[in-house]
Amino acid sequence: MMPLNLHEYEAAARERLTPTAYDYFAGGAGDEVTLRANRASFDRLALRPRVLVDVSRRSMKCDVLGADAAMPILVAPMAFQRLAHADGELAVARAAGAAHTVMVLSSLATTPMEEVVVAARPSRVWFQLYVFKDRGATRALVRRAELAGCTALVVTVDAPFLGRRERDVRNRFSLPDGVHISNLAGFGKDELPREAEGSGLAAYFEKQLDVAFTWKDLAWLRETTRLPVVVKGVLRADDARDAVAAGCQGIVVSNHGGRQLDGAVAAIDALPEVVAAVGGKVQVYLDGGIRRGTDVLKALALGANATLLGRPVLWGLAADGEDGAKRAIDLLAAELDLAMALCGCRSLAEIRRDLVVRAP
Ligand code: FNR
Ligand code: LAC
């Protein structure tokens, strides 16, 4: 049976994945409190639909840093997509391209970025950057992303160390033969250690990532590239103001899908203070727990310019390759379209704050 919604895609994917891969994709840090909170907080928000609006014509077109996306749903950066399907990032890129939306490509992709950019035609690929201790490698990665045709840099700032994901510790998570961190091959950083006691990914982060990176360094990074810089992983107003001051052009309000600091505030609950703090100076995006079209609508009502979709894209990919990833995106977009119609919204601009109230 064809999955009817994103939850059913997860069930379909689970049947196809090894338990280790499923756990890596699905899991969160610690007790997974934040993972659950991302969902629960959406459910606590209620909609106040407006009626008797002529909704015969609707558009969800969305301008994200100059990329004309067909929908306010971008694909979140996610590592190791070839663990989900042999076509990995290429399938996701084709799905995002066919859906006319942006794919954010992880630094820890398992496919060379040039191939991904080509597969994503019409290409709207943003490159997600992890900052390595090795500044030369970091700079080379940025340069390569520019040359490959990526159109923005998404710097993830919530992961100096990897959160402790106990499922991965238990499974001693690492990459199977033939799956590599493709874009770091030239720097001898393309493998996860297998001799690690726990998570090979946690050991990799500890060895490779720059834990001393600060706002000052971010300003440096911004000057080394002509690409717009988006900071991913902000949950507070003061950090949002620092991001603006550092010259960033976008902020992703995110707790990394509950995979980093367990107990961190739900992403949707952190959104209003970030939106208020930046006062429209830069774009604000949100990810974490988006599973229904109404979640997207709630995020936009609370001031997000767009949302990023994480795990469900991997569930679609695992279940049915490019077609599954595309259908997962399409299902969510169709749900958003319906939610807009039922709320009396004909465009994203009409999705305003007064549509949402905290449920009693
Ligand atoms: C991620 N995420 C992530 N973020 C990032 O900046 N770089 C990365 O390489 C990854 N890798 C990654 C792998 C997997 C398997 C998952 C599930 C997530 C976090 C991701 O971009 C996003 O913030 C969350 O996944 C959003 O939450 P949902 O939609 O999965 O609930
Ligand atoms: C993760 C890292 C790679 O969440 O961002 O698994």
Q: Which helix (H) or strand (E) holds 63?
A: strand 62-64
Average pLDDT for 82-90: 98
What CA–CA distance (Å, rounded) separates 67 from 42?
Answer: 27
Report pLDDT digits (tens) over 317-330. 999 999 999 999 99
Q: CA-CA-CA-CA torsion for 185, 188, 189, 193, nearest 10 degrees?
A: 120
Q: Which of 78, 110, 296 to mutate to test the pocket of ligand 1 (most atoms within 8 A of CB)?
A: 78
Question: Taking residues 29-56, what's their average pLDDT?
Answer: 98
Within 6 A (CB) of ligand 2 lie 79, 108, 159, 256, 259
Tell me the best of 80, 108, 232 to mutate to test the pocket of ligand 2, counting ligand atoms within 8 Å of each CB and taking the most. Answer: 108
* Mean pLDDT for the chain overall: 97
Tell me: pLDDT of 1 over 90: no
Answer yes or no: is pLDDT of 191 > 90.
yes
In order, the DSSP letters of 135-179 are: HHHHHHHHHHHHHHT---EEEE-S-SS----HHHHHHT--PPTT-
Q: How far apart are CA 42 and CA 31, in angstroms?
A: 20
Distance 224 CA to ligand 2 centre (A): 25
Pocket of ligand 1 (CB under 6 A): 24-25, 38, 76-79, 106, 108, 128, 156, 232, 254, 256-257, 259, 287-290, 309-311
278's tokens: 């930046």
Residue 123's pLDDT band, with cuts at 50, 70 and 90, is confident
**62-64/283-287 β-pairing:** unpaired
Grade residue 122 by pLDDT with cuts at 50, 70 and 90: confident
Residue 130 has pLDDT above 90, yes or no: yes
What is the rounded CA–CA span in Å between residue 353 and residue 348?
A: 12
pLDDT at 249 over 80: yes
What span, in angstroms and rounded, lies between the C-alpha atoms of 163 and 357? 32
Instruction: List, by residue number, the catalytic residues.
Output: 256
Q: Is the pLDDT of residue 283 over 90?
A: yes
pLDDT, position 309? 99
pLDDT band at 197 (very low <50, low <70, confident <90, very high): confident
Distance from C-alpha of 152 to C-alpha of 226, rounded to nearest angstrom: 9
Strands 67-69 and 62-64: antiparallel
What type of residue is 234?
A: V
- For residues 176 and 326, give the distance between their C-alpha atoms in angstroms, rounded to a whole number: 26
Q: Region 262-269: what's the mean pLDDT?
A: 98
Q: pLDDT at residue 196 above 90?
A: no
Write down the number of H helices and E strands in the chain.
13, 12
Instruction: Indicate the top mutation candidate among 83, 201, 208, 262 to test ligand 2's pocket, ranked by most ligand atoms within 8 A of CB.
Output: 201
Question: How far apart are alpha carbons 81 and 87 in whole angstroms?
Answer: 8
Residue 360 has pLDDT above 90, yes or no: no
Separation of CA 303 from chain center = 18
**Tokens 């049915």 -> residue:** 320
Residue ID of nearest Cα to ligand 2 atom 2: 79
Which ligand has the minimum distance to the alpha carbon of residue 267?
A: 1
Does residue 180 surpass a pLDDT of 90?
A: yes
Nearest CA to ligand 2 atom 4: 259
The per-residue pLDDT for 292 is 99
Closest CA to 225 of 127, 125, 143, 135: 143
Asked if pLDDT for residue 121 goes beyond 90, the answer is no
Distance in angstroms (rounded) separating the CA atoms of residues 234 and 240: 7
Question: What pTM was computed for the model?
Answer: 0.98
Measured in Å, residue 358 CA sits from the centre of ligand 2 at 31
Ligand 1: centre distance to CA 254 (Å)? 9
Task: Provide the pLDDT for residue 91.
Answer: 98
User: Relative to the CA of 104, which ligand 1 atom is closest?
Assistant: 21
Helix (H, G, I), strand (E, B) or coil at 71: coil
How far is residue 31's CA from residue 69's CA, in Å, rounded to a whole number? Answer: 36
